[in-house]
Structures are given as C-alpha cells and as structure tokens.
Structure 1
Amino acid sequence: MGEGIELVVLDMAGTTVRDDGLVERAFDSALDDAAVRVGTAEHQRAQRYVWETMGQSKIEVFCALFPGEPDRARRANAVFERCYDDLVARSCEPVDGAENAIGSLRDAGVRVCLTTGFARGTRERLLERLGWSDLVDLVVGVEEAGRGRPHPDMIQTAARHFGVIDPRRVAVAGDTGYDVLAGTRSGASVVAGVLTGAHDARTLTEHGATHVLESVADLPAVVS
C-alpha cells in the first residue's frame, strides 16, 4: 500500500455512512425546539451556518449559533442527538463499497480509524446498528481528541494511538470542507474529498483536497 501510508482516517456520516439528509433533518428538529422557526431570517442564517460547518462537532455548532446561551446550546444538541438516533434506527446504511474499501485497506496492513463529530453515545449506537463494532481499528470523537473539525486533533489523536510519527504516512477522507481542512492542517499526504455527502467538488477543492473521489470506495486505489 503505497508511499508508506500507514493510517487512513475516515469520516462517518456522508463518507462511510449514508446520510440521506438525516443530519440536516435532525438539525431542523433541534432548531425548532430552540424556537428558531422555519421561514424566519434567523432560521435561514442558522441553516446556512449548519451547511457551511458540516463535519464540525455538533455541540460546537450549537454553541456558535447560540453564543452566550450554553443551556440553550446543550438542549439543542441533546434534541439533535435524540432525533438523529430515531432517524438512523429506521434508516442506517453504509455508503456503497465502504465496507469493502475498509476491508481492503486493513488486508493491506493499513490501520483504519473512523472520526466523527457525534457524541460518544450516538456514534456507538450508529456503529452497533451498522454491525461495525469490529470493522475498523479505532473510532475517535471530540471527547477523545479535545477539539473537533476543522482542527486536526482527531486525526492527530489517531496517529498518536498507532505511533505514526510522520503525518505524510496518513491519508484522510471526508465529505465536507471541514473534513478536508482538518486533513490539510494535520499534514496528511492524501486528503480526499468524497462526493457522497454534504459538499460539492468545488467546495472540497477550495478547502484543499488533494483528490476528489466519487466515493470512499475509490480510496484504496489512491493510496495503493
């Protein structure tokens, strides 16, 4: 597996797990509970901010939407997580080819880590419903890393866990500009944007993607 790639770090929702608008629907429920009504200018600004920051830690998004109102932000985050849990309980599918890609990477001796802005409980339920408990080598969230995207902390936490000292031996893939920005800030040599989630090729390229792929299924060929 070429040019010394030892670790691949993959986003979850939109990259390895089909989103199908579930994250946005959960955000809309949280905004409604926080009295941000559909059709208002406040709702439009909030939706635009949510879209622009897809990939960021969800609690950080709500703290930015409701500055100086930590209780409101925490409640909105709790509503988001509850709604997302309910949605994925009814509709939770991997991106086509994701499982095979992960298996191919691991068979080639590459470590694979999933990263997510979801809280620990949400991501554990998601992994359980997908049957992915043993699919990857590691799962890292904000609780373990300290900061979410666009900071590189989750990627760097994974690298430290496996003793990967040279960031050029890391490949990163995600579906949002913040995923890509975190990858470039980590120093990873491969930072792939995928087109199965929130952002388009132009947005991914503008944030520094070294590759834009139709899907994570194409990633093994890039790092081979």
Structure 2
Amino acid sequence: MKNPIKLAVFDMAGTTIKDQSNVAEAFVRAFSKHGYTAVTLKEANEKMGYPKPLAIKEMLVAHTPEGERVSEKLVDTIHDSFVDEMIQFYKESPDIAPMDDALEVFESLQQMGIKVGLDTGFSRPIADVILERIGWKNHPLIDITVCSDEVSKGRPHPDMILKMMAALGIGSPSEVIKIGDTEVDINEGLNSGCLLSIAVTTGAYTEAQLAPHKPSHIVHRLIDILPLVAAEIGEPVRE
C-alpha cells in the first residue's frame, strides 16, 4: 500500500446532490422578501459552499450603503427565510435527487476500506430534510455527516473535517481526501492538509473557474475519483 486513505469527505449540494441553481435561487428569494431585490443569481452562486449566515452577511454588506452597519438580527432574519425556502424546496420539489453515481462511489470507497463523510454549508435542519428525502438518513454507505452550524467555523476552515476525524479516530489529515464543487470546498481540503482536494464540475462552477484555486485534481463525474484514489493507495479499482 502506498498512501493510506481512511476517509473521503464529500460536499452535498452540487457534488453528491443534484443542484440546478436551486440553492442560489432560494438565496435570491430570501433577500427579496426583506427588500433586497437587487441581489442577483450570479452573486448568490459566487457564495456557494460558504456557511450560509456568512454568505448572507457578505452579500448584505455589498448591498448596504457605505458606512451603514449590517445587523446580526437582519442576517438571522434572512437566514431564517432562506432555511424556510430550502426546507420547502427539499420537501416538495420533484427535482431533488442524488448524483447518479454517488452511491456507487461510496460503495467502492468502502470496499477499499475508506469511510465516507458528508459535510455542508447548510445547517442541520436543512441537511436532515435532504438526507431524509433521498433516503440517505442513517444510510449504511455514509459513516458521518457534519453541518456548518455544528462547528465554530465552516468552510473554508478545516473545522468540519477535523470534527469528522476526531469522531472516527483518524489521526492525520493526510489520511483524508476532500471532494467538492466550489472554491471553498477546494480550500477546505487544502486548509485541512488533506492528501487530495478534488474539484468536480457537477455544480455551479466550470473547470476554468475551479482551476485557479489549485485543487489536486479536477474531475467531471464523481466516479472519476475512483482511479485517483486507487492510484494513491496502490490498489486496483474494484468492479
């Protein structure tokens, strides 16, 4: 065996869960409800992957006259609206579905002796609705999930990955790989010291947009990570 890998950490929306700008659209609707009608879908997409209260605060600052303070109460109010929008979407939309190859990848990794974790910029209430809806709540192929409201600092900080490592008894980030579809996913992996920080083009960003953030690899399908992992651990990909 070459490099041991004990844990693969995947993002949720846009990486393992299909997202056709649904999260960004919920952002725009939440802002609009509170009078911020100039917030665009492009701006919202640029904040994908961040902890949602932080993303909301940064967007509010951009739409607030210079010198005026953005209150935490307003951030919380818009976040509450965003949570309501997302929970309604994930409960009711027929579009909610996992990426086609997600479970196949999880199973292949577990056959290699690698645990599977999910982390997300969502708070736990949204994440639980998603996991319940697609049948991933307590799924045997998913060993652990961590949400941004369960740590001191969300992505791009390493807190969520460190929390998983502690829970699973993993001693070094060099035994962990990170997979995600945004800049902050890449940076979370890099900031954590992960062996690999792999970007996928299944979400909001193209290869050209992801490349400047220096992921270890860029793939176009989740299943494309399997040969990368196999090469690192010195094992063939199991069919």
**Structure 1, residues 162-206: CA drift from partner, whole Å, max 9, x if none?**
122221111100000110011111111111100100112123221
Q: Mapping of 1:31-180 within 5 angstroms?
A: 31-37=31-37, 40=38, 43-44=39-40, 47-66=41-60, 68-89=70-91, 90=93, 91-133=95-137, 134=139, 135-180=141-186
**Structure 1, residues 12-38: CA drift from partner, whole Å, max 9, x if none?**
00000000111011011111012111x
Aligned residues of 2:182 and 2:203 also touching (Cα < 8 A): yes
**Structure 1, residues 43-77: CA drift from partner, whole Å, max 9, x if none?**
24xx5543222100111111223353112111111
**Structure 1 residues without counterparts, runs of 5 or longer:** none
Equivalents in 2 of 1:34, 1:208: separation in Å?
Answer: 37
Equivalents in 2 of 1:88, 1:139: separation in Å?
Answer: 18
**Structure 1, residues 75-115: CA drift from partner, whole Å, max 9, x if none?**
11111111112222212100110111011111221111100
Q: Mapping of 1:184-223 within 5 angstroms?
A: 184-223=190-229
Aligned residues of 1:152 and 1:183 also touching (Cα < 8 A): yes
Q: How many residues align?
A: 218
Q: Following superposition, which runs of at least 4 residues in structure 1 exceed 2 angstroms of deviation?
A: 47-53, 63-68
Change (3 A) 1:115 1:2: farther
Aligned residues of 2:28 and 2:44 also touching (Cα < 8 A): no
TM-align CA RMSD: 1.6
Equivalents in 2 of 1:216, 1:152: separation in Å?
Answer: 22
1:16 aligns with 2:22: no
Equivalents in 2 of 1:88, 1:2: separation in Å?
Answer: 41
Aligned residues of 1:97 and 1:216 also touching (Cα < 8 A): yes
Q: Which secondary structure does the structure 2 equivalent of 1:184 belong to?
A: helix
Given the two structures, how large is their TM-score scaled by the length of structure 2? 0.86
